[in-house]
Amino acid sequence: MSTEPQLIPPEEPKERNWVVIGLVAAVVIVALALFLLPRSTGNNAPVTPVSAPLDPYAAALTISRLQLSTAENPLGAQQLYIDGRITNAGNKTVTAATVQILFRNFNREVAQNDTQPLRLIRTRDPYIDVQPISAAPIKPGASADFHLIFDSVTQEWDGAFPDIRLVHIETQ
């Protein structure tokens, strides 16, 4: 009996399924984008009408030292920050405040109207960390620094400081 060596054909290279690889890559990219997109600033407040009156206690509060700055997030989107100082010249302790921010166009018309809770700066290093006013109420005669964050601002904005209005204040 003679046995001939059996030739095993060489394995053909396995064909990659590029469609599946592409879909997996797309899912990973979308997941990363959702993770890296600007987080909500906790702004659950409805937009306040431009004609809304100021809170009666607003007369006892002064906003000063306003500064605008921008930064780019990892996806390349611009964020706008407004930093400032709020001083309580009244006789009550402020435990919460909601501000309305009016961005105007070159005709001085309101181009964007945002409403959000005022958040105080807790730490500045290694980055600015904010907290609600209720975590550190502003006593009569005291001041505190605040930080407002905007994930987007209309292109119609003229670049000037927006109007910041105190539309709701809680005191004790």
Q: Is residue 135 part of a domain?
A: yes
What does the pLDDT look like over 18-61, one tens digit per residue? 777 777 777 777 665 555 554 444 444 567 788 888 999 999 99
Q: Is residue 88 part of a domain?
A: yes
Residue 11 predicted with pLDDT over 80:
no
Predicted local distance difference test score (pLDDT) of residue 48: 78
- Block residue for tokens 């592409």: 22
- pTM (global) more than 0.95: no
Quote the domain boundaries for residue 104.
56-171
Q: Is residue 76 part of a domain?
A: yes
Q: Is residue 35 part of a domain?
A: no
Query: How many folded domains does the chain comprise?
Result: 1
Q: Is residue 41 part of a domain?
A: no
Predicted local distance difference test score (pLDDT) of residue 12: 62
Q: Is residue 115 part of a domain?
A: yes
Amino acid at 48: T
Q: Is residue 67 part of a domain?
A: yes
What does the pLDDT look like over 72-130, one tens digit per residue? 877 778 889 999 999 999 999 999 999 999 999 999 999 999 999 999 998 888 878 88
At 106, which CATH number? 2.60.40
What does the pLDDT look like over 116-169, one tens digit per residue? 999 999 888 887 888 999 999 999 999 999 999 998 899 999 999 999 999 999
Q: In the numeric block, which tokens belong to residue 170? A: 């809680």
Amino acid at 151: D
CB 131 within 8 A of CB 147: no
DSSP per-residue string spanning 64-125: EEEEEEEEE-TTS-EEEEEEEEEEE-SSS-EEEEEEEEEEE-TTS-EEEEEEEE-EEEEE-S
Q: Is residue 95 part of a domain?
A: yes
